[in-house]
Structure 1
């Protein structure tokens, strides 16, 4: 058995952008199989790990987190062997100049650096500015397109931030792909805990490691349609706002526990986002209070998660999000607190084990409850 930090270190070392999640799928499948013999992988890569309660007509709770990471794809290789790229997901291009990147070539990993104009030759108006994405290029140490292709680097190859896992003495960790390999690590530890207590389950539990969130947010939907959950709990990161560049945006910070989402949506409109089921988020809050788990309240404009679409499946699904506060999201130095991760594990475990035949969520359940009174 591994610690959560060991899982996280190994998972973040893997390169797997959207639709190229195969090595993470293999990793999750290997370790899930230690705890359940009911594992299924669908056509696009969603991995479902099932813990049945053995109860007749049991309700279903799904807990999910995505396996893919933000990155890039090689769009063009010029005659001198420099690579030009497009983003896969919302990778922060402001951090790219002078950065190490790893090209996932057909013959293995090829290290590269993002070129930047020599400081001595910068024009005054160029200082302190960022070049546009179409001007950025990757230098992999070759002198021609043919030499690049001999290394297995071609248009269509993916590019990832270089993995460099850093541990702090205070329990913080830094590296690439914390978004959302931290959720994958939590799912594996949750599977370990559930496997020891599966005879006490009253609901069927489905742990889902899903795909393509960073690219289209909807990759989990085939798994949802197969499971048909009554409750869906999404695990992801959320920006921590405890740094000098995000004063007074929100109170979400490292070391103060998981953040329960009360609203998120992407962009400046409200075409898709999460407003959690009130009864469900109240139950999560109560679990935190009963178990003396510190928690935070998240309002995040600019963030969107899969539950924005899951909520409308079939006859509707009661949804909630639990977020891990993370600094510097979508960069190679994403930073989070293992304390927050461990508290999230504790919250999920006690919430699931506390579900009984009388647990109900959604507006219909609230109306039924009021009539009984």
Structure 2
């Protein structure tokens, strides 16, 4: 574990000359930070990462105190019966929201061990959802972490030529900071991020793309944030071709994503050193960054099969040349 908190597990390949591949998923989730404690015990907050303001009012959340304990709270919302008609359809900004801990004074907040800077996250939930799906909090990117754990197990049980540098990264939601530090230390031959990709199989997003839950893992063909962090990833063609060929060989269907408005850790990892061949592989996810996200276990299982197969076909002869054969 490094100073930032990234955790690296190495599974050595059977071919010492084969590529060293960093495959990573982020452990963090976005949330809020306490910025002020009012005299009457209410907490004022700042956003940390892409929390959508429109889902917050009335939501159950948890504050982590200085002892690591989670304290339940509610995001305050003006009583419906006292809300003027013109306000009922408005989105209230985070700067105007407050948290209700059920206490009556700042002294009681202090007794709970809550201080300015305390992290606030969605109250965690998880359940099976239909025959193949799961829904819950922070599937972005805990589901990706689960897939990476399974890949580690698979590579230990069935060794592959390439060395797997499995990294569980931090601070992805806080401007993509953690994975770059790991890449600077490891200097891998290639890097692949496991993360969500925005599903377009709901009525409101049918024209947005062509990603559906249960349709297989998705290869990231283009990502660009488009605001703030003007960064994104154009995948390395050798990795795209290799994963596509692995999909055909294993019989795992692959989808493709080209999307503006989101990006992953790979956007900075690719810029480390002299440049690292990088790409994203993802699992389509509905309702991203909300308290309850939805994904399909079959897509996560497919990611494991694809990545294990890709590592199995990466020998010392593997080329990252951008030229087509």
Q: Unpaired runs of 5+ in structure 2?
A: none
Give secondary structure in 2 for the equivalent of 1:261. strand
Q: Unpaired runs of 5+ in structure 1?
A: 1-40
Give secondary structure in 2 for the equivalent of 1:167. strand
Which aligned pairs between 1:82-97 and structure 2 lie closer than 5 A?
82-97=42-57
- Pairing partner for 2:63 from 95, 103, 110: 103
Which aligned pairs between 1:76-155 and structure 2 lie closer than 5 A?
76-107=36-67, 108-155=69-116
Contact 2:219 2:254 in 1 (8 A): yes
CA–CA separation in structure 1 for the residues paired with 2:179 and 2:33: 22
Contact 1:280 1:362 in 2 (8 A): no
Comparing 270-279 and 319-328, the one that deviates more: 270-279
Which residue is equivalent to 1:338?
297
CA–CA separation in structure 2 for the residues paired with 1:111 and 1:150: 14
Contact 1:61 1:232 in 2 (8 A): yes
Question: What is the CA-CA distance between 1:362 and the residue it aligns to?
Answer: 3.8
Contact 1:273 1:305 in 2 (8 A): yes
CA–CA separation in structure 2 for the residues paired with 1:194 and 1:347: 12
TM-score (norm 2): 0.96
Tell me the number of residue pairs that the alignment of Structure 1 and Structure 2 aligns.
Answer: 324
List 4+ stretches of structure 1 deviating above 3 A.
54-58, 268-271
Kindly provide the CA deviation profile for residues 295-318 of structure 1, in whole angstroms up to 9, marking residues without a partner as x: 111011011112112222222211
Do residues 308 (structure 1) and 308 (structure 2) align? Answer: no
Do residues 163 (structure 1) and 117 (structure 2) align? Answer: no
CA–CA separation in structure 2 for the residues paired with 1:42 and 1:261: 28
CA–CA separation in structure 2 for the residues paired with 1:307 and 1:317: 9
Q: Which has the higher contact order (CA 8 A, sep 6+)?
A: 2
Which residue is equivalent to 1:261?
220
CA RMSD of the aligned region, Å?
Answer: 1.5
Do residues 228 (structure 1) and 192 (structure 2) align? Answer: no
Question: What is the CA-CA distance between 1:42 and the residue it aligns to?
Answer: 1.0
Kindly provide the CA deviation profile for residues 318-356 of structure 1, in whole angstroms up to 9, marking residues without a partner as x: 111101111111111111111111111111111111212
Give secondary structure in 2 for the equivalent of 1:242. coil
Contact 1:317 1:362 in 2 (8 A): no
Higher helix share: 1
